[in-house]
Amino acid sequence: MEISTIKEVLIKALALDEAHVSGDDNHVQVIAISAKFAGMSRIQRQQLIYSPLIEYISDNRIHALSIKAYTPDEWLCDRKQNGF
Q: Which amino acid is at 46?
A: Q
pLDDT digits (tens, 9 = 90+) for 25-63: 678 999 999 999 999 999 999 999 999 999 999 999 999
Domain with 73 in it: 3-81
Asked if 49 and 41 count as a contact pair (C-beta separation under 8 A), the reply is no
Going by C-alpha positions, the residue among 58, 79, 59, 57 that lies closest to residue 68 is 79
- What average pLDDT does range 64-76 have in this prediction? 95
This prediction has a pTM of 0.88
The 8-class DSSP code of residue 44 comes to H
The number of distinct structural domains making up the chain is 1
State the DSSP string of 31-42. EEE-GGGTT--H
The mean per-residue pLDDT over the stretch 15-20 comes to 95
Q: State the pLDDT at residue 83.
A: 60
CATH no. for residue 35?
3.30.300.90
